[in-house]
């Protein structure tokens, strides 16, 4: 099972673009003809530059190697250029390649990936969804409306979901952490109140931010949300301040969750050692892949922390998340995105059923990728997968975060 061929496909989901402007899919083929699929969740450079990084990592550390030797390939990549430290872009490239290796290994053995990670722990995976507008809702009004959010939450509960995520506290800017506007705190409280009234005790509230705040600002906001008992307070401060997460966790009576922008167990270990997070949210297309995420889960278990794999990408990374989730004992919940394009790209091979995802039984990642569909939607824009705004927090007019929905390029 020597790895011989690489293909990188950058596909753009149709409007409204839930999951990002584009998804970077990786296709690996072995010398005996087995095909494996992976996905890179990387946003630091543009997709064509990322393609070059993926090709470079493949040629240096993966090509000609057996798909079984995942630890060896990881160590080569992690050490690339005399580094041996977390590197978002390089490890993002490796993550997609590594996921594809597990897809190959499962297919070669006729077993799902979870069976190679220690076997089945969870027969079905509790899923959560972001609150997206219903057909009757108008954008951008939806993102600033507690009433519309409550309607969307009630719809999610009716479809079987037991947790919903929303993030009304915007903005997220390149300027780093800021003190929230009082209007942002008031709006966040209004969202929590309306959604809690709509769902009662049928669903958990997952309060998202994107590292917008200083520790003091995060504490002010978090304490205001405590009466509504959210399940978590997500990424309240920027990820480059790992020690400061503990300050927030100690001052706010809501579990802190984070991890979307972290890579490798080295960064997650710092959070665990300091008590900075109770819930870890690795994005498997960035964190180092499935095996590294399995190590992160083991570390978390030793600290009494739980795992909630993150998803703001395509369905290949989602499939990797689900395989990991089936195998680990300290799973809390896994993110999902339901759109016709997500579903079509993997031909409906993994689905949410009444708020849960049954453990896949097909070999490898358990998916069948529609390669023609992926190639039929090339990305032609010049924006990154996600982008932070230049403008600072608006303390006069207030702020609206449009739910991660990127504006469509003309």
Q: Cα separation of 190 and 79, whole Å? A: 48
Q: Can you give the pLDDT at residue 408?
A: 52
Tell me whether residue 402 is in a domain.
no
Residue 301 lies in a domain: yes
Q: What pLDDT is stored for residue 172 in this prediction? A: 87
Hey, how many other C-beta atoms are within 10 angstroms of the C-beta on 362?
15
Quote the pLDDT of residue 409: 46
Report d(CA 353, CA 174) in Å as an integer. Answer: 38
Of the CA atoms within 13 Å of residue 276, those in its CB half-sphere come to: 25
C-alpha separations of 147 from 75, 187, 211, 214, 292 in Å: 50, 11, 25, 29, 41
Q: Answer whether residue 296 is part of any domain.
A: yes
65 found inside a domain: no
CB 281 within 8 Å of CB 321: no
Domain limits for position 243: 115-364
Domain annotation covers residue 250: yes
In a domain? residue 248: yes
Q: H/E element holding 195?
A: helix 182-199
Phi and psi angles of residue 378, each rounded to the nearest 5 degrees, phi first: -70, 155
DSSP 227: G
- Spatial separation of the C-alpha atoms in residues 152 and 312, rounded to whole Å: 19
Tokens 């609150």 belong to which residue?
A: 131
Cα–Cα distance, 310 to 281 (Å, whole number): 5
pLDDT in tens, the chain (410 residues): 999 999 999 999 998 889 999 999 999 999 999 999 999 997 799 999 999 999 999 999 999 999 999 999 999 999 999 999 999 999 999 999 999 999 999 999 999 999 999 999 999 999 999 999 999 999 889 999 999 999 999 999 999 999 999 999 988 899 989 999 999 999 999 999 999 999 999 999 999 999 999 999 999 999 999 999 999 999 999 999 899 999 999 999 999 999 999 999 999 999 999 999 999 999 999 999 999 999 999 999 999 999 999 999 999 999 999 999 999 999 999 999 999 999 999 999 999 999 999 999 999 999 999 999 999 999 999 999 998 889 999 999 999 887 665 555 43
Q: Which residues, at least 6 apart from 313, have a Cβ–Cβ distance to it below 8 Å? A: 19, 20, 23, 39, 41, 283, 285
What is the C-alpha separation between 170 and 64, in angstroms, rounded?
A: 46
If one counts the domains in the chain, the total is: 1
Residue 403 lies in a domain: no
Q: What is the pLDDT of residue 406?
A: 55
Q: Give the model's pLDDT for residue 43.
A: 76
Question: Residue 207 belongs to a domain with what CATH number?
Answer: 3.20.20.120
Residue 324 lies in a domain: yes
330 φ/ψ angles, rounded to the nearest 5 degrees: -105, 35
Q: What is the pTM of this model?
A: 0.97
């Amino acid at each position: 099972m020597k790895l011989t061929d690489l293909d990188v496909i950058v596909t753009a989901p149709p409007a409204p673009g839930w999951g990002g402007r584009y998804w970077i899919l990786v296709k690996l083929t072995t010398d005996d003809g087995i095909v494996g699929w992976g996905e890179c969740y990387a946003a630091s450079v543009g997709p064509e530059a990322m393609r070059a990084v993926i090709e470079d990592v493949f040629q240096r550390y993966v090509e000609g190697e057996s798909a079984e030797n995942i630890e060896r390939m990881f160590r080569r990549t992690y050490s690339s250029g005399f580094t041996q430290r977390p590197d978002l872009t390089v490890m993002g490239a490796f993550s997609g390649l590594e996921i594809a290796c597990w897809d190959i290994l499962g297919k070669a053995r006729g077993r799902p990936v979870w069976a190679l990670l220690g076997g089945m722990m969870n027969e079905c995976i509790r899923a959560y969804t972001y609150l997206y507008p219903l057909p009757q809702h108008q954008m951008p009004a939806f993102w600033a409306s507690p009433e519309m959010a409550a309607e969307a939450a009630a719809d999610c509960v009716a479809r079987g979901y037991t947790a919903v995520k929303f993030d009304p506290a915007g903005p997220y800017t390149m300027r780093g952490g800021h003190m929230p506007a009082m209007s942002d705190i008031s709006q966040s409280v209004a969202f929590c109140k309306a959604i809690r009234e709509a769902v009662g005790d049928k669903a958990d509230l997952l309060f998202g931010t994107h590292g917008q705040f200083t520790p003091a600002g995060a504490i002010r906001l978090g304490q205001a949300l405590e009466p509504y008992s959210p399940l978590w307070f997500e990424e309240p401060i920027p990820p480059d301040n790992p020690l400061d997460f503990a300050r927030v966790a100690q001052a706010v009576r809501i579990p802190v969750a984070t991890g979307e922008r972290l890579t490798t167990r080295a960064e997650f270990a710092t959070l665990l050692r300091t008590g900075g997070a109770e819930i870890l949210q690795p994005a498997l297309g960035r964190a180092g892949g499935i095996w590294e995420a399995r190590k992160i889960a083991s570390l978390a278990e030793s600290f009494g922390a739980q795992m909630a794999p993150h998803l703001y990408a395509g369905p290949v990374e989602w499939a990797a998340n689900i395989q990991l989730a089936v195998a680990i004992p300290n799973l809390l919940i896994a993110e999902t995105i339901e759109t016709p394009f997500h579903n079509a790209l993997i031909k409906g091979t993994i689905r949410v059923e009444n708020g849960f995802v049954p453990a896949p039984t097909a070999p490898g990642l358990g998916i069948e990728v529609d390669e023609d569909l992926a190639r039929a939607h090339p990305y032609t824009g010049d924006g990154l997968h996600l982008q932070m705004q230049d403008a600072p927090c608006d303390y006069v007019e207030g702020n609206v975060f449009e739910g991660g929905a990127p504006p469509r390029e003309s």
